């Protein structure tokens, strides 16, 4: 019995010892857990504090950006991936009028932005102001695959007015120089015509000489007509009335203008028309005069014999390229750099307005002209004209939609008050090629 009691006593003692050890370990573990919880609580409080600071900074930044956006003198429009307006500032609303938010961008463009011929980055507002449209892409933070756009509309009306004033001052200065040069250029052929005309009434004049004198008088009058027409177009700075005309008829006029040279067999004129459309929108008389200027220079270049080629290619649904190529002696690169400058000429006769008028007429149609030449291999003049009379595509903001070119041209055509008329004929007396 005593042995059993002793064993039970030892077992209870071991159990209490183990219990005390476990209790002590549990107490230590609980104390460690409390310390860990306190540490985590401190870290959570710090993170919460930093989060609040970040949110506060973002709120301040958002407020600052909102104030900057409101203070910007330009209109800002934000589009989503579907091309709908999701945000804009007050200036944009003033430019484009409400409603804007939620509207399809193309509807807004069709309603408030009129295309400007010759400048795809500018639009005209309903009140007559001109704005420059800049487009930048952005990617949404919550959906990297969804892209939107930010469109910036800057008012450039004052800058355009200043440019027009500067151009007007330059034009007036150039006109003064032109008048001084015209005095000599008009007086000489006029004196010649008067001299021949005074002999026409002479009874001793036979029919052959009378016919020759008549041709001389007509030649001088045609020369004066060309000079006056060039002067008028240059003085008007390319402002032309736009109307529809036939491309085929324009090319036929050019063929007839140099018929006296092609009929003699010395000059081979080739006209290649590969355009699908024939209805054009522009000023036929001005274009005819500009092309005749280039054609006259080509005839001067080839001399008594040579080949001149006029090719017409349709680039797309609204652009046309007209190329006049000759196999004359060509033009050196220094002259090519200055060839379209007003009053620059290497001819002993002429005032140097011919190619300046060509450039002015092409720019008035919203196009551009360039020259390429290698000495000994002829010269090539290329005119690109957006004058085809039909529907074409615009892509403002990176999206595709359709607009009508004639309406766009008529916007500027309403500002044009002068419709130049008259025909040009190549002079019978030719000199070497120059830039007039």
Cis peptide before 99 (omega within 30 of 0): yes
Of 402 and 145, the structure prediction assigns the larger pLDDT to: 145
The crossing angle, in degrees rounded to 10, of helices 207-235 and 157-199 is: 170
Could you please state the CATH topology (level 3) that the domain comprising 75-155 is classified under.
Beta-Lactamase (3.30.450)
* Residues 63-80: tens digit of each pLDDT: 777 777 776 778 888 888
The tokens for 228 are: 């006056």
Phi and psi at residue 401, to the nearest 5°: -155, 175
* Mean pLDDT, the chain, integer: 76
Look at the block and give the residue holding tokens 């052929």. 189
185 confidence band (pLDDT: 50, 70, 90): low
Q: End-to-end CA distance of the chain, in Å?
A: 141
What is the mean predicted confidence (pLDDT) over 144-156? 74
State residue 182's pLDDT score. Answer: 63
State residue 381's pLDDT score. Answer: 93
Of 137 and 49, the structure prediction assigns the larger pLDDT to: 49
> Who's near 118: CB < 8 A, 6+ residues apart?
363, 366, 367, 386
224 confidence band (pLDDT: 50, 70, 90): confident
- State the Cα–Cα distance between residues 253 and 227, nearest whole angstrom: 20
Domains 75-155 and 240-413 in one fold: no
Q: Spell out the domain ranges in the chain.
A: 1-71, 75-155, 240-413
What is the mean predicted confidence (pLDDT) over 16-36? 85
State residue 430's pLDDT score. Answer: 37
State residue 431's pLDDT score. Answer: 36
**CATH of region 240-413:** 3.30.565.10
Which region among 294-298, 313-317, 336-340 has the lowest average model confidence (pLDDT)? 336-340
CA-closest candidate to residue 245, choices 286, 289, 284: 284
* Residues 192-218: tens digit of each pLDDT: 788 778 878 788 778 888 888 888 888
> Residue 174: pLDDT above 50?
yes
Of 329 and 145, the structure prediction assigns the larger pLDDT to: 329
The crossing angle, in degrees rounded to 10, of helices 207-235 and 284-302 is: 120
State residue 132's pLDDT score. Answer: 86
CA-closest candidate to residue 147, choices 79, 206, 57, 211: 79
The tokens for 333 are: 């690169």
> Who's near 86: CB < 8 A, 6+ residues apart?
78, 79, 80, 101, 102, 148
169 confidence band (pLDDT: 50, 70, 90): confident
> Residue 432: pLDDT above 50?
no
pTM (global) more than 0.85? no
State residue 141's pLDDT score. Answer: 40
* Residues 97-126: tens digit of each pLDDT: 777 888 888 888 888 888 776 667 788 887
> Residue 142: pLDDT above 70?
no
> Residue 406: pLDDT above 70?
no
> Residue 306: pLDDT above 50?
yes
- Nearest-Å Rg of the Cα atoms of the chain is 40
What is the mean predicted confidence (pLDDT) over 314-323? 88
Look at the block and give the residue holding tokens 């529907």. 391
273 confidence band (pLDDT: 50, 70, 90): very high
State residue 249's pLDDT score. Answer: 92
- State the Cα–Cα distance between residues 213 and 215, nearest whole angstrom: 5
179 confidence band (pLDDT: 50, 70, 90): low
């Amino acid at each position: 019995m005593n042995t059993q009691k002793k064993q039970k006593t030892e077992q209870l003692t071991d159990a209490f010892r183990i219990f005390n050890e476990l209790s002590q370990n549990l107490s230590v573990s609980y104390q460690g857990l409390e310390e860990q919880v306190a540490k985590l609580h401190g870290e959570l409080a710090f993170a919460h504090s930093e989060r609040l600071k970040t949110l506060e900074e973002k709120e301040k930044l958002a407020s600052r950006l909102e104030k900057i956006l409101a203070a910007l003198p330009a209109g800002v429009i934000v589009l989503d991936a579907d091309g709908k307006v999701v945000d804009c500032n007050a200036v944009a609303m003033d430019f484009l009028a409400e409603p804007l938010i939620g509207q399809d961008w193309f509807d807004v463009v069709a309603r408030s932005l009129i295309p400007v011929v010759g400048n795809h980055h500018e639009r005209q507002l309903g009140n007559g102001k001109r704005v420059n449209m800049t487009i930048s892409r952005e990617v949404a933070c919550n959906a990297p695959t969804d892209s939107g756009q930010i469109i910036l509309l800057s008012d450039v009306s004052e800058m355009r007015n200043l440019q027009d004033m500067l151009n007007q001052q330059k034009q007036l200065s150039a006109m003064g120089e032109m008048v001084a040069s015209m005095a000599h250029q008009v007086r000489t052929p006029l004196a010649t015509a008067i001299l021949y005309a005074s002999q026409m009434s002479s009874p001793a004049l036979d029919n052959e000489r009378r016919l020759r004198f008549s041709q001389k008088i007509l030649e001088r009058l045609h020369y004066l007509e060309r000079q006056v027409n060039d002067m008028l177009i240059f003085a008007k700075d390319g402002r032309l009335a736009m109307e529809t005309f036939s491309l085929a008829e324009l090319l036929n006029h050019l063929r007839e203008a140099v018929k006296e040279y092609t009929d003699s067999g010395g000059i081979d004129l080739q006209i290649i028309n590969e355009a699908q459309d024939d209805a054009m929108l522009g000023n036929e008389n001005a274009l005819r005069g500009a092309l005749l200027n280039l054609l006259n220079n080509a005839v001067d270049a080839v001399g008594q014999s040579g080949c001149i080629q006029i090719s017409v290619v349709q680039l797309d649904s609204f652009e046309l390229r007209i190329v006049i190529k000759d196999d004359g002696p060509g033009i050196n690169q220094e002259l090519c750099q200055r060839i379209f400058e007003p009053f620059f000429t290497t001819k002993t006769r002429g005032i140097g307005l011919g190619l300046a008028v060509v450039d002015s007429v092409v720019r008035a149609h919203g196009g551009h002209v360039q020259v390429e030449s290698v000495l000994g291999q002829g010269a090539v003049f290329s005119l690109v004209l957006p004058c085809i009379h039909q529907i074409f595509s615009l892509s403002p903001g990176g999206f595709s939609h359709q607009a009508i070119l004639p309406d766009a041209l008529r916007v500027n055509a309403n500002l044009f008050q002068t419709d130049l008329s008259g025909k040009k004929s190549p002079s019978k007396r030719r000199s070497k090629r120059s830039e007039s």
